[in-house]
Amino acid sequence: MFNLFKKVLGKTSDAIKDVAPIKRKIIPKEEFEDILLEADVHYDLVERLLESLPEKINKIQAFNSLISVFQYKADFKESDAKPFVEMIIGVNGAGKTTTISKLAYRYQQEGKKVILGAGDTFRAAAIEQLTRWADKLNIPIIATQQGHDPSAVVFDTIASAKAKGFDNIIIDTAGRLHTQTNLSEELKKMIRIAQKALDEAPHRKMLVLDGTQGSSSINQAKAFNDMIGIDGIIITKLDGTAKGGSVLSIADELKMPIFYIGTGEQPKDLIKFKANEYINTILDEIFI
């Protein structure tokens, strides 16, 4: 099977080749440090990863060091609830709407009935964009006018899904309002209304992070987690950046489950994140 991580980390691999153009069985510790920094791994994390390594490093030692970042307890929230309600959260520009189309397509391919809720009523463009994806995928969508109450969209989407026997509900949310307080209160209200419409909803609150943003995406994640609690992460745009090492920094800082990685612009371009494959893809560019 073609390694999709190789596709998504293509630019990161090119950056690694600039530092280490020739693959070897053993490399100096200092060179490994340069490679990690070039791939946009946080400096503090790089120093910690190097602590336990010898002056000359082989692939197994490098792998054991990097995989340690993912050795935290990650609760991949799953549920048999029907309909299963997901709220998709993140700042504007992170790729939230495209990610919703990818999730919807994925569930469709699994034979599930999906409905979308256009809960970002702050931006007219968000409603239009999500509606276009819904039409393209032949998926129903509950939408309203710009400026209307997004909690009403949440309630109507869940009510419609319950009545018509849908399996999955994916709800978009606003990425930015006038103040963070406004955004926080709006998201909390949407969650309260979801719980009134269906017990224990939303079952999963997924945060979309732009992989090109580095530490600013980590700060965003912390802010959203403080607001409403995040259940998992989807990382986008890694295929367009040489900062593939940022995944290590995100995992280290947030200690949250990384569910998926976006690999392109089309609905099919979403893969499950697997730490082993991710790390091996990077190391395959360095070691024989």
CB of 204 within 8 A of CB of 121? no
| 134-156: average pLDDT | 97
pLDDT band at 151 (very low <50, low <70, confident <90, very high): very high
213 pLDDT above the threshold of 90: no
Mean pLDDT of the chain: 93
* Residue of higher predicted confidence among 15 and 89: 89
pLDDT of residue 263: 87
Tell whether the model's pLDDT for residue 1 goes beyond 50: no
Cα 206-207-210 angle, rounded to 5 deg:
145
What percent of the chain clears pLDDT 70, i.e. is strictly above it?
99
CB 287 within 8 Å of CB 62: yes
The answer for residues whose C-beta is within 8 angstroms of residue 251's C-beta and 6 or more apart is: 69, 70, 72, 258, 275
84-282 is classed CATH 3.40.50.620: no
pLDDT digit string, tens, across residues 21-58: 899 999 999 999 999 999 989 999 999 999 999 999 99
Domain ranges for the chain, please list them.
4-72, 84-282
Distance CA 275, CA 67 (A): 7
Alpha helices in the chain (DSSP H): 4-8, 10-19, 29-38, 43-51, 59-67, 96-109, 124-137, 150-164, 180-197, 215-228, 246-254, 275-283
155, two tokens = 């309630």
Check pLDDT > 90 for residue 264: no
Distances in whole angstroms, Cα of residue 285 to Cα of each of 24, 125, 161, 255: 10, 41, 47, 26
Q: Render pLDDT for 241-254 as a digit per residue (tens, 0 to 9).
A: 878 899 999 999 99
Q: What share of the chain is helix, strand, coil (3-state, %, to 5)?
A: 50, 15, 35
Structure tokens at 257: 């489950």
Of residues 93 and 172, the one with the higher pLDDT is 172
pLDDT value of position 164: 98
Query: What is the per-residue pLDDT for 8?
Result: 85
Kindly indicate the confidence band of residue 144, based on its pLDDT and cuts at 50, 70 and 90: very high
Question: With 80 as the cut, is the pLDDT of residue 2 above it?
Answer: no
Q: What is the pLDDT of residue 124?
A: 87
Give the pLDDT band of residue 10 (cuts 50, 70, 90): confident
